[in-house]
Amino acid sequence: MLTEAEIRTFVDGATHYFAVAARQSAAVGSPYLVTSGEPSVHEYVGVIGISGKRNGAVCFTAPRSMLMVLLMRMNETDTSDETMRDLVGEVANTISGNARRDFGRDFVISVPSVLAHHGSTFTPPTTARPFIIPINWRSHSAKLIVCLE
């Protein structure tokens, strides 16, 4: 089970990402634990596998509309599916990479894998229950899903 300080690491990573990359802060809702079933996801899902002292995954999921506005804030004009996939993977990777500073070098992160489009599902790779960290930016909602043993 994640501690409050560990959850704070991911909350801070998410808010920092939006403040720097989008030059506009995001509001983070209250993190909550998924008690049954798999967490619901949006159209795009970036997944980072975690190994070492902790095992599991960190996942950032967002709707296309949010990613499109984020790309515009970054002065990117290419809004193709491939660019959306790259962006959702980059967000997941950046937040996980920043968390590695707090967790230490034994917090090993994988390259991002990306799931896209309606009907995508995220099955946590461990028996640990996932924490959902809601992220609200402008009029859009996304989630950071943290599932670590």
116-135 confidence digits (pLDDT tens): 876 677 888 778 889 999 99
pLDDT digits (tens, 9 = 90+) for 37-75: 889 999 999 999 999 989 999 999 999 999 999 999 999
Q: State both tokens at 74.
A: 């970054």
- Please, is 51 exposed, middle or buried when counting C-beta atoms within 10 Å of its C-beta (0-12, 13-18, 19+)? middle
Q: Per-residue pLDDT averaged across 87-107, rounded? A: 92
CATH code, domain with 124: 3.40.1550.10
**Nearest 5 degrees, angle CA 18-CA 116-CA 108?**
60
Inter-residue contact 41 to 104 (CB < 8 Å): no
Which are the contacts of 4, defined by CB distance < 8 A and separation ≥ 6? none
- Its domain, for residue 51, covers 4-148
Domains contained in the chain, number: 1
